[in-house]
Each structure stands twice: as structure tokens, then as C-alpha cells.
């Protein structure tokens, strides 16, 4: 039962109806049962791991709070975090580390006999592990009190709208909302349904329509440079539509129960710098990395080169979190280098913009920065989408080869689309751009929509629903569900 399924919509409708009928004191039981049922339909064999991780984090949190000395609190926090990281490391990184050590040993002529193990990655382990770590660290820092209601804590760990692919939430924000008595609110339910429908729209009409074209490029043994350029840019659009759609559905689903989740995206492909991009892309992860990796690494450090080392390490963590492969490590390193270079050259770039008088046309300057940032992001995603480091470097070389950008060859690469598919995609892609334009100019497209007439609202929602039913296509799941 994935988000993009009739079964999920029926499950959700029944759950919401029951939720507002049962007394508040029993709702935690309903949400917890629904969360485990949802997870069981996707990955029932890993429910014991979810239960063990939940119990371990709960008990460790209580033990941390009971300590009087800060040193003892820190020791227990470190034990808890290390254990959670070991859980994640075993399932996600054992074979990556094992294969890397074997390759290194063979190159040096050493004997290495630790065999490959068939380890299956548990669904959502990266997401709920990061939530668990934030809970223990925040307890140690005194930012919250240990939760003593095991039921509410278990929901925090396994809340089904955001369990599989985030947003990565903090206990301080989420737990009080579970405990508050949520009354039926038409505005919440209406907003939730609109947000879910919009997620379906982006997923089935943008992301999943692009998926076969992107796959056809990167599954070829010898794609042309123009195909790599086009395929990589299309992958960037696919990845954004796919992941933001998942977040839309998660946020909309939670709002049906009166729960507000963190916004995870703010039009990242309109960022004017790499720093701005990471303030707009997967915001809950960016904030987690800032608070639990970058800031601790910078503690007591004032020299710029020390800050730059912390930036690189933070992005390397981001890379390895995304996948157990050296291509993801390189992807993280590239973004770290982008970020360092951007900060180190900020003054010089401002001087250059002034020299060529770009600062006199701020709108043109802004769109030039958006275009450059988008291309930097796309180049990095060559490493994200490639199957191996060797393939990634080959594709990266093709991406920056001038002949790959020849207009005639780029037009030929568009033959990845049939004429009908191209027209359908362009129409719905333009629709998304209109929505984003409203957001950029009006503040919130959802607030703007709520101020329109009932007829306009119904017409727009009918357009979204009919478009999904008539033109929508669906793949197996969400890209970030695999992380």
C-alpha cells in the first residue's frame, strides 16, 4: 500500500472518519495501529527492528534525563546515538564498507576473506534513525523533557504519513501535537485533501511521466552527450517532482488529523546559489545536518578554513546518508566544494557583477544566478543517478563537453519523447510553473486559492483530479523511499 494507490486513499478515508469519532484518549492507539499496519503492508519483516529501535530510544531517553551529572548524560547519549548508528550501519553500509575494504586489500595484494552478505535495507530506517538521534541529542542539550508515554513516543517514531520519506521531524514539535485534542476542522481537512491531490498531480503527471525517458538514457550502454545533458536535467525535474509530491502527500495526510508537518521544499530550482538551494531542498534534512553535524563540528572554531572543513564533512554525511556507494559520497563532496567555493569567492563575484554592470539589472542578474545554480545542481546529479563511479565520471565528462550542448543534437535528444508524451508533459509542467509563480508573487498559493470563489476552487480541484485520472501514470513508489 503506497501513497499512490486506491488502497491508501480508502485506508485514509476510513481512518479519518474513525479518528474524529473516537474519544481523544484513544486516538493514540488508533494512530499507532494505523502506522504499524501501513508499515506492515510495505515491509512487515522489519517491524521487529522498528519496535526494538523505538524501545531502545525510549529507555535511553529516560536514562539520560535521570542523570544528574552532564558527563553521565553525555556518555549515555553517545552510547544511544552510537547504537542507533550501528543499526543503520549494519543494514545500510556493511556491504559498502566490506566491498571497499576488499577492493583496497586486493589492490595491495592482501588476503581478505570476509564474504558478501545478503543484507536487505529496512524501509525508512534512515529517516526514523535520524529522528531518534535528534531526540536523544535534544534531551542531552536540555531542549525537551523525556517522553514518558510509550504510546505517544511510538507514534513519533512511526507516524505513517512521514515514516517512509520524511519530513524528518523533531520530537519537540510533533509530540505536543499528538497529545493535543484535535477537533474536526473543515479548513484542515480541505487543505489536506488539496495538498494530497497536488502531490498526486506532481507524481503521476510530472515525475512518473519523466521516469521512462530518464531510465532510457542512463540504461543505454553508450548514450550521446546531448542525451546525457537532457536526461540529467529531466532527472532533476523528476527527482524534485517525485520527492516534493511525497512530501505534499505526507503533509496533506497529517493535516487531515490536525497535525502540521515541516515544509520540505520551497521551489529549490529557483535558488540563486548553492547555499540558497540547500535552504529550499529537503529542508528537514538540511536543518538536521546543520543542527547535529555542522554546528557541533564548528563549536569553538573561528578560522575560516576550519569552518570549510566542517562544511565538507557535513556534505559528505549527506552524501553517504543518501546511498551506500562512492558515487553518493562524491555527490556530497561536490556540493561541499560548491558551498566552500561560493563562500570563498562571494566578494570577487560581486565585484565581477559590478564590473560588467549586472548589478544595474537585478532581475537579469537574479535569473542568471538561478540558471547557473540549476546547472551546478544538475551536474552533481550525474553522480546521483549513475550506477558506478566510472559511469558517473564518463557521464560528467559528456555533460561538460561543449558539443553535447549543440542545439541540433539537443533537439534530436528530444526524440526520447513521443510527440504526444512531449505535449502532455509540457502542458502539465507549465501548470506546475503557474502554481509556483503564484507562490513566488502571492506568498502562499494555498492562501491565494482559499480566497478565490467556491466555483474557482471546485473547478481547479476537478481539473487536478480529472488530469490525474485521465493522464496520470504511476511507478512502483517514490525515489526517496529507497533511502
pLDDT tens by residue, 334-383: 999 999 999 988 888 888 888 888 878 888 889 999 999 999 999 999 99
Q: Which of 164, 182, 200 is the last residue of a domain?
A: 182
What size, in residues, is the chain?
483
pLDDT of 483 over the 70 cut: no
Q: Is residue 106 part of a domain?
A: yes
Cell numbers at residue 381, please?
546529479
Q: Which helix (H) or strand (E) holds 275?
A: helix 274-278
Which positions are annotated as active-site residues? Answer: 322
- Those residues with Cβ within 8 angstroms of residue 137's Cβ, 6 or more apart along the chain or in another chain: 77, 81, 292
Q: Could you tell me if 458 and 478 lie in one domain?
A: yes
- Which CA distances in Å does 319 have to 72, 151, 482? 32, 33, 14
What is the C-alpha radius of gyration for the chain, rounded to an integer number of angstroms? 24
pLDDT of 482 over the 70 cut: no
Burial of 411 (0-12, 13-18, 19+ CB in 10 A): exposed
- Which CA distances in Å does 385 have to 255, 313, 327, 340? 33, 22, 9, 23
Categorize the per-residue pLDDT at 128 as very low, low, confident or very high, splitting at 50, 70 and 90.
very high
Cell 506492515 belongs to which residue?
A: 40
Q: Could you tell me if 307 and 338 lie in one domain?
A: yes
Q: Are 134 and 157 in contact (CB under 8 A)?
A: no
Cis peptide before 167 (omega within 30 of 0): yes
Q: Are 146 and 61 in contact (CB under 8 A)?
A: yes
Q: Could you tell me if 176 and 232 lie in one domain?
A: no
Q: Which of 156, 182, 208 is the last residue of a domain?
A: 182
Which one-letter DSSP state was computed for residue 360?
G
Q: Could you tell me if 202 and 159 lie in one domain?
A: no
Categorize the per-residue pLDDT at 451 as very low, low, confident or very high, splitting at 50, 70 and 90.
confident
**Short-list 476, 475, 467, 6, CA closest to 198:** 467
Question: Would you state the pLDDT for residue 395?
Answer: 92
- Give the percent of the chain with pLDDT over 90: 59
Q: Could you tell me if 246 and 305 lie in one domain?
A: yes
Categorize the per-residue pLDDT at 58 as very low, low, confident or very high, splitting at 50, 70 and 90.
very high
pLDDT averaged over every residue in the chain: 90
Number of domains in the chain: 2
Q: Is the C-alpha dihedral spanning 256, 260, 262, 263 positive or negative?
A: positive
Q: Is residue 243 part of a domain?
A: yes
Q: Are 377 and 371 in contact (CB under 8 A)?
A: no
Q: Could you tell me if 247 and 331 lie in one domain?
A: yes
138 C-beta neighbours (distance < 10 Å), count? 19
Q: Are 30 and 19 in contact (CB under 8 A)?
A: yes
**Short-list 31, 277, 60, 54, CA closest to 162:** 31
- The whole domain housing 138 covers 21-182
CA atoms of 444 and 447, how far apart (whole Å): 5
**Short-list 237, 91, 72, 204, CA closest to 139:** 72
Mean pLDDT of 200-229: 90
Q: Could you tell me if 388 and 357 lie in one domain?
A: yes
Alpha helices (runs of H) in 290-361, residue ranges in sequence order = 295-298, 304-322, 326-344, 346-355
Q: Is residue 1 part of a domain?
A: no
SS3 67: coil
Q: Could you tell me if 176 and 256 lie in one domain?
A: no
Amino acid at each position: 500500500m503506497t501513497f499512490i494507490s486506491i488502497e491508501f486513499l480508502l485506508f485514509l478515508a476510513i481512518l479519518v472518519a474513525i479518528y474524529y469519532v473516537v474519544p481523544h484518549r484513544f486516538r493514540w492507539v488508533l494512530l499507532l495501529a494505523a502506522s504499524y499496519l501501513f508499515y506492515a503492508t510495505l515491509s512487515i519483516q522489519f517491524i521487529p527492528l522498528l519496535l526494538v529501535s523505538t524501545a531502545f530510544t525510549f529507555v535511553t531517553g529516560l536514562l539520560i534525563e535521570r542523570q544528574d551529572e552532564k558527563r553521565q548524560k553525555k556518555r549515555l547519549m553517545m552510547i544511544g546515538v552510537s547504537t542507533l548508528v550501528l543499526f543503520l550501519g549494519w543494514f545500510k553500509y556493511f556491504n559498502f564498507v566490506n566491498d571497499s575494504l576488499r577492493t583496497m586489500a586486493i589492490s595491495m595484494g592482501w588476503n581478505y576473506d570476509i564474504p558478501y552478505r545478503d543484507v536487505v535495507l529496512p524501509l525508512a530506517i534512515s529517516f526514523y534513525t535520524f529522528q531518534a538521534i535528534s531526540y536523544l541529542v535534544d534531551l542531552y542539550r536540555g531542549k525537551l523533557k523525556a517522553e514518558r508515554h510509550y504510546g505517544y513516543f511510538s507514534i513519533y517514531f512511526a507516524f505513517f504519513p512521514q515514516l517512509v520519506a520524511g519530513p524528518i521531524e523533531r520530537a519537540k514539535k510533533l509530540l505536543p501535537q499528538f497529545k493535543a485534542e484535535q477537533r474536526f476542522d473543515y479548513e484542515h481537512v480541505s487543505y489536506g485533501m488539496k495538498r494530497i491531490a497536488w502531490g498526486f498531480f506532481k507524481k503521476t503527471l510530472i515525475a512518473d511521466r519523466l521516469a521512462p525517458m530518464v531510465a532510457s538514457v542512463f540504461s543505454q550502454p553508450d548514450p550521446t552527450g546531448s542525451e546525457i545533458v537532457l536526461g540529467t536535467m529531466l532527472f532533476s525535474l523528476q527527482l524534485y517532482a517525485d520527492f516534493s509530491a511525497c512530501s505534499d502527500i505526507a503533509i496533506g495526510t497529517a493535516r487531515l488529523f490536525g497535525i502540521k508537518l515541516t515544509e520540505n521544499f520551497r521551489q529549490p530550482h529557483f535558488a540563486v546559489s548553492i547555499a540558497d538551494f540547500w535552504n529550499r531542498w529537503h529542508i528537514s534534512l538540511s536543518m538536521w545536518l546543520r543542527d547535529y553535524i555542522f554546528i557541533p563540528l564548528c563549536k569553538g572554531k573561528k578560522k575560516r578554513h576550519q569552518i570549510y572543513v566542517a562544511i565538507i564533512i557535513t556534505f559528505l554525511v549527506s552524501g553517504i546518508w543518501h546511498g551506500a556507494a562512492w558515487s553518493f559520497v562524491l555527490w556530497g563532496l561536490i556540493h561541499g566544494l560548491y558551498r566552500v567555493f561560493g563562500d570563498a569567492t562571494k566578494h570577487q563575484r560581486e565585484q565581477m557583477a559590478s564590473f560588467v554592470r549586472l548589478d544595474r539589472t537585478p532581475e537579469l542578474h537574479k535569473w542568471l544566478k538561478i540558471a547557473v545554480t540549476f546547472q551546478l545542481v544538475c551536474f552533481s546529479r550525474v553522480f546521483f543517478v549513475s550506477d558506478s563511479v566510472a559511469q558517473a565520471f564518463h557521464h560528467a565528462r559528456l555533460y561538460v563537453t561543449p558539443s553535447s550542448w549543440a542545439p541540433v543534437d539537443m533537439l534530436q535528444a528530444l526524440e526520447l519523447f513521443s510527440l504526444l508524451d512531449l505535449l502532455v508533459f509540457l502542458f502539465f509542467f507549465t501548470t506546475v510553473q503557474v502554481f509556483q509563480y503564484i507562490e513566488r508573487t502571492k506568498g502562499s498559493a494555498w492562501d491565494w486559492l482559499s480566497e478565490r470563489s467556491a466555483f474557482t476552487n471546485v473547478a481547479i480541484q476537478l481539473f487536478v483530479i480529472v488530469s490525474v485520472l485521465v493522464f496520470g501514470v504511476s511507478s512502483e513508489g517514490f525515489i526517496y523511499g529507497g533511502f
